[in-house]
A and B are shown apart, each in its own frame.
Chain A
Amino acid sequence: MSEEVKPYSDYSSTDFFENDRYIRFVLHPSEDEARYWDNLAGQYHGLRAAMEEARIWILLLNRQKIQPPVTAGSEIWHRIAGQMRQVSRRRDRISSIRHRVVWPARVAAVLSMCWVIYEWSQHGVHRYQTDYGITNRIDLPDGSLVTLNGKSSIQYKRGWSSAKPRELWLQGEAFFQVKHVAVKNRWQQSDSFRVHVDGLNVTVTGTQFNIKSRRSQVEITLLEGGLRIDKEGEAGFTRWLRPGEVFVLDSIRKTVISTPANAPSKSAWTKHELDLDGYSLEDVLRILEDSYGYEITLRSPELAQKRLTGTIPASSGEDIIFVIEKVFNVTVNRDGKRLVITKY
């Protein structure tokens, strides 16, 4: 490190000890460097001993015993992570207090405005609803057709103008046959048909599809055309569906897209039929509950996963119950809409 150039001939151990190049050589030896220093050591008497001493000092300092942590890193991390949560909580609290103080007047104003707009807009809302066991066909203003299954509803704003996408909101199950309004090869945003269901936006590019939203699970089956499914917000996603595919968003908000063989049967209910392919007894009983309003107890759980094939008439819940009784050899005890199913 000394600035003045000292001839190597005068070098002592301490000179080598503080020489950058020598330190680097000792800690990270290379063949070239070894040749260089060996050559130098051969030139002057006493240099080799000085070098060797400096080498030992450098290594003694470099190879110090490493003190391992006393507490495991994961434990310390655990404590840090705990305090990190507190930091973000405190921040939330501070900002919420700030909001409470600064914003009340504005919030009140916005709320009352929302209420006015809502009241006003309600005048223009169309709502269709079906009761248990009833299906209903609705002609939409654009010529599209919606078939509502039992205990379901749709609503849309009156007067779909041609400048905006057609939007409607669904609860329960419905089958859609959407009419194309786009001029050929000139598709634009305003031509799309959009269904809002349980936090999902389903955008349609023409076509036939079934949406079933029951028990916090959404199942969308595409029969013809194309569909885009969007979810906004934190756990948002976008999925594209092709004909024959079934999209499922289950109650724990996991998404699955599959191509089950029974995709076409998902709309069989619109023809007052139930296509049993791919359904277990449990699935059929769920349908009875969701669309026909029964409350069912299955006393023989071992039957739950039994499967049937074929199509059965389903114009009423009674039809389905009749078939179940015959096929599964079970007794169905009725108390109004309450059913108890036991093995015969």
Chain B
Amino acid sequence: MAILKLDHVVKRFGEFTAVNDLSFEVPEGGIFGFLGGNGAGKTTSLRMALDIIRPTSGSIQILGRKPGRENASQIGFLPEERGLYRRMTVLDTIVYFGRLKGMSTSAAKKEAERLIERFGLSQWTKSMVEKLSKGMSQKVQVAAAMVNSPRLLILDEPFSGLDPVNQKVLEDLVLEMAEAGSTVVFSTHIMQHAERLTDRIVLLARGKKVFEGTQEEARATMAGRLRLESQGDPSTLPGVAGAKRGETDQGWTSWEISLSPGTAPGHLLQACTSQGFALRAFESQKPSLHDVFIHLVGGEQETVS
């Protein structure tokens, strides 16, 4: 069952179309990446899923229902633009959000204390938020999003503004939540995080979906690349779309090969063996999600700042 489903969703602000005929499904369980450059429509789509804004047309289903605050008890949300009440204590802030999501005071307090300890903020429990560093404030906000142990955790650009250590802490937490049964949807334009965490992804560009599927399926959209060293010219081998000559050393020449779509590196190795094509090196190069992103989105995107 899809925990989040967008069906031909359009959102216009005046003349500007922020989200254009967007359809995708997030299956329950696992980690789902919602990828795209700045201005791709990620935040707008997530806001619509949470009923913060309404779509111009199309329909959205979240947890099997229409978007609305009645779903809040099962959702955790960390917005891209983050902030807290400066003159509230760390504990009160997390408990307040827990209460707003329907938790009892005692349950919210118990979970808040657990998360505070988990984030290493114990000594700041009773401190005003205004006394915290930016990184600590962000942890408090993450804790506020997670306090209700949500069935669906939506994180909008969760890693922005965090130092590498805290990025790792958050990555671990996301994995922990997924292992505990939550579905995590996070948007990002930093592909390395998506690469490490996600099972499935959706790629957006200028409000439109350009890809939906697994990481492997995404990579398969790109021509395979590999490097080999041979005595002969590999450009005539079956499945080779292009071969760029490199340096020659004692009769062996280095080549950058791009494969035809649908040709796996293994197919080329098999052809070399059967034709007696002499090789000294054969290095398959797996395209990164970043390469896939550039490949799929590059033409669609005007600017990525």
Partners in one complex: no
